[in-house]
Amino acid sequence: MVPKLPRSAESPEGGTATASGGITPLGKLPDRGRVMCQGHIESVTFVPADRTAEFSAIVAEDDAGRPGAPGQRRPPRLRIVWLGRRRVPGIEAGAEIRVEGMLARGKDMPTIFNPRYEILSRQENE
């Protein structure tokens, strides 16, 4: 079962994070605090069986365009990590997702550990 998110979220400053239902754009994430973000899953990472269980995915903004198109910069990205899990049902490349959790600044990109999530749509396999 997929956890449901509230329709709006409060920013760390106490007000609504944005006018669009509390969703913070990935390019405007604070250094830390509770955030709600939305985008598509760009990639997922599986760890080998001999390592501690961890499943992670990279989320990119939808309005910035899909990566890889000629002449486009890489869109803002967010890493989401589930500790103690080797797989999360429905979390796959191309899926549209909304996540909520405490933001941490990693060395290379912002990260949310064990986020609440809602799958908005899935990419159909051809």
Ranges of each domain in the chain: 33-121
Determine the pLDDT at residue 63.
57
User: What is d(CA 5, CA 119) in angstroms, rounded to the nearest whole number?
Assistant: 10
User: What is d(CA 54, CA 35) in angstroms, rounded to the nearest whole number?
Assistant: 22
Determine the pLDDT at residue 69.
54
pLDDT values of the chain reduced to their tens digit, one per residue, 126 residues = 445 544 433 333 333 344 445 999 999 999 889 999 999 999 999 989 999 999 999 999 875 445 455 556 778 999 999 999 999 999 999 999 999 999 998 778 999 999 999 999 876 655
CATH hierarchy code of domain 33-121: 2.40.50.140
Torsion sign (Cα): 19, 20, 24, 27? negative
- Confirm if 44 and 93 have CB atoms less than 8 A apart: yes
Determine the pLDDT at residue 104.
93
Determine the pLDDT at residue 102.
96
Task: Convert 1-28 to b/e letters by CB count within 10 Å (16 or more is b).
Answer: eeeebeeebebeeeeebeeeebbbbbee
Determine the pLDDT at residue 72.
62
**Can you list the positions of beta strands (E) in the chain?**
33-46, 54-60, 77-83, 96-105, 110-113, 116-121
User: What is d(CA 86, CA 80) in angstroms, rounded to the nearest whole number?
Assistant: 13
DSSP-assigned beta bridge partners for residue 100: 36, 116
Determine the pLDDT at residue 108.
86
